[in-house]
């Protein structure tokens, strides 16, 4: 008989090995999926993980790792703070959208003026928009005890409607001949986030690296970080230690919303270039996978963000070269979270073979 036995204490070895094992299992299961679709499994996996780094056109794809990875890391860092404390912000996608709209709105309000102060104001607007949107589930949880998972998730759909409305209305390019979408920020020198476009460097990459350092220092050198870890690991002990749960909820949700809003602003003012109906591409949801793949550790999230960016770029190459459907690539990415959660079970439980002991 196969049964699970709870470990006396969590296994550190399995905790560290789980992400690697999950990635390998995803490759195997993904290869089987691609085989069922009539594609060469080995070639498909090689295309996804090898071509962007070492293929013939790697010089073009490598900068895209920064472009794709920066928003994932930035959002995942914010989410990880709440997840560590047992505060579940599932609506980062909505905060990402609102941050982009607020920051873009400020930039477009100044058009066609040029000035060094425009982009910093856009950054402040993006951060404030994401923070404000996250404060809605935060306030409702603190004041009325609502579930932040449901509220934050439902607000994503509200934000998507705002995005469609702004693309077709207030922020639409008056010189766009009636097509939805705003002016292009890449042609507006004072409102673009690019530092070096050919190298994939924009201010979102810098912000992501700063966020990693900030989160590491906060969690390891600051009392607030200690309260976050204590609340997640021992809620009752946190109460005796004098942790203010309402303040912690607002801090974690506010910080994650602010970082998601910044990610949206840097994306709309750089790689995306404009507010459009299909501006959001699911970074807010994918960042949840990145946060857990990185074990909610800032450095781990940085590495996990790079890996997930690799699957984005490699997936696009596989769609083009091997005619793989986009849905198969999305299933492949979803497998990563599935296997991560499945193997994470072995951190707290061990598999035991044999007959159960009779009491």
Q: Is the pLDDT reported for residue 359 higher than 80?
A: no
Q: Is the pLDDT reported for residue 353 higher than 80?
A: no
Question: What is the count of structural domains for the chain?
Answer: 1
On whether residue 330 sits in a domain, the answer given is: no
Across residues 336-353, what is the average pLDDT?
86
Residue 285's nearest CA partner among 22, 74, 19, 76 is 76
Rounded to an integer, what is the distance from CA 273 to the centroid of its chain? 20
Beta-bridge mates of residue 286: none
Rounded to an integer, what is the distance from CA 325 to the centroid of its chain? 23
Render pLDDT for 185-237 as a digit per residue (tens, 0 to 9).
999 999 999 999 999 999 999 999 999 999 999 999 999 999 999 999 888 88
On whether residue 172 sits in a domain, the answer given is: yes
State yes or no: cis peptide before 219, omega within 30 of 0. Answer: no
Q: Phi first, then psi: give them for residue 295, nearest 5 degrees.
A: 60, 30
Q: Which residue has the higher pLDDT, 329 or 359?
A: 329
Across residues 299-324, what is the average pLDDT?
94
On whether residue 355 sits in a domain, the answer given is: no
Q: Is the pLDDT reported for residue 262 higher than 90?
A: yes
Looking at residue 238, its pLDDT comes to 87
Residue 92's nearest CA partner among 345, 306, 261, 330 is 261
Q: What is the pTM of this model?
A: 0.93
Rounded to an integer, what is the distance from CA 123 to the centroid of its chain? 18
On whether residue 7 sits in a domain, the answer given is: no
On whether residue 106 sits in a domain, the answer given is: yes
On whether residue 335 sits in a domain, the answer given is: no
Render pLDDT for 55-70 as a digit per residue (tens, 0 to 9).
888 999 999 999 999 9
What's the CA gap between 109 and 206, in Å, rounded?
26
Across 176-197, b (16+ Cβ under 10 Å) vs e yields eeeebbbbebbebebbbbbeee
List, in order, residues 6 or more apart from 319 with CB less than 8 Å away. Answer: 325, 326, 329
Q: Is the pLDDT reported for residue 357 higher than 60?
A: no
On whether residue 226 sits in a domain, the answer given is: yes
Q: Where are the alpha helices (DSSP H) in the chain?
A: 12-36, 41-49, 51-54, 58-84, 92-110, 118-144, 148-168, 203-221, 223-233, 235-240, 245-268, 283-293, 298-322, 326-348
What's the CA gap between 285 and 152, in Å, rounded?
12
Domain with residue 149: its CATH number is: 1.10.3470
Q: Is the pLDDT reported for residue 355 higher than 70?
A: no
Render pLDDT for 3-22 as a digit per residue (tens, 0 to 9).
888 888 888 888 888 999 99
Residue count (the chain): 359
Looking at residue 356, its pLDDT comes to 57
Q: Up-side HSE of residue 319: CA atoms within 13 Å toward CB?
A: 13
Render pLDDT for 141-166 as a digit per residue (tens, 0 to 9).
999 999 999 999 999 999 999 999 99
Both tokens assigned to 112? 């066609």
Q: Is the pLDDT reported for residue 96 higher than 80?
A: yes
Task: Quote the domain boundaries for residue 195.
Answer: 40-323
Across residues 305-330, what is the average pLDDT?
93
% of the chain beyond a pLDDT of 90:
80
Both tokens assigned to 134? 């996250």
Looking at residue 45, its pLDDT comes to 95
Looking at residue 358, its pLDDT comes to 53
Looking at residue 354, its pLDDT comes to 64
Across residues 314-334, what is the average pLDDT?
91
- Sole residue written with tokens 């951060």: 127
Looking at residue 274, its pLDDT comes to 95
Looking at residue 352, its pLDDT comes to 80
On whether residue 345 sits in a domain, the answer given is: no
Alpha-carbon dihedral of residues 311, 313, 318, 321, nearest 10 degrees?
-170
Across residues 347-357, what is the average pLDDT?
75
């Amino acid at each position: 008989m196969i049964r699970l036995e709870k470990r006396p204490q969590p296994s550190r070895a399995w905790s560290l090995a789980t992400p690697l094992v999950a990635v390998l299992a995803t490759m195997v299961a993904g290869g089987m999926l691609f085989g069922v679709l009539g594609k060469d499994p080995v070639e498909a996996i090689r295309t996804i993980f090898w071509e962007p780094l070492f293929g013939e056109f790697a010089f073009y794809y490598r900068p895209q790792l920064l472009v794709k990875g920066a928003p994932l890391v930035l959002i995942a860092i914010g989410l990880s703070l709440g997840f560590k404390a047992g505060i579940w912000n599932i609506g980062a996608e909505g905060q990402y959208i609102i941050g982009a709209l607020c920051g873009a709105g400020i930039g477009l309000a100044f058009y066609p003026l040029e000035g060094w102060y425009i982009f910093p104001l856009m950054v402040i607007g993006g951060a404030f928009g994401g923070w404000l949107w996250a404060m809605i589930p935060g306030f409702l949880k603190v004041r009325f005890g609502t579930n932040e998972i449901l509220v934050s998730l439902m607000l994503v759909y509200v934000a998507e409607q705002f995005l469609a409305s702004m693309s077709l209305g207030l922020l639409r390019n008056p010189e766009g001949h009636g097509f939805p979408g705003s002016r292009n920020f890449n042609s507006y020198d004072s409102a673009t986030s690019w530092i070096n476009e050919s190298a994939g460097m924009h201010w979102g990459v810098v912000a992501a690296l700063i966020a990693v350092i900030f989160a590491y220092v906060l969690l390891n050198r600051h009392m607030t970080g200690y309260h976050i870890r204590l609340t997640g690991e021992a809620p009752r002990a946190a109460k005796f230690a004098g942790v203010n749960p309402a303040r912690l909820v607002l801090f974690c949700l506010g910080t994650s919303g602010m970082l998601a809003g910044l990610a949206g602003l840097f994306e709309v003012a750089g790689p995306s270039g404009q507010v459009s109906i299909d501006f959001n591409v699911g970074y807010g949801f994918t960042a949840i996978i990145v946060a857990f793949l990185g074990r909610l550790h800032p450095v781990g999230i940085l590495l996990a963000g790079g890996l997930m960016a690799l699957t984005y770029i490699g997936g696009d190459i596989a769609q083009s070269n091997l005619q793989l459907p986009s849905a198969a690539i999305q299933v492949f990415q979803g497998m990563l979270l599935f296997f991560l959660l499945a193997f994470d079970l072995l951190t707290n439980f061990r598999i035991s073979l044999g007959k159960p002991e009779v009491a």
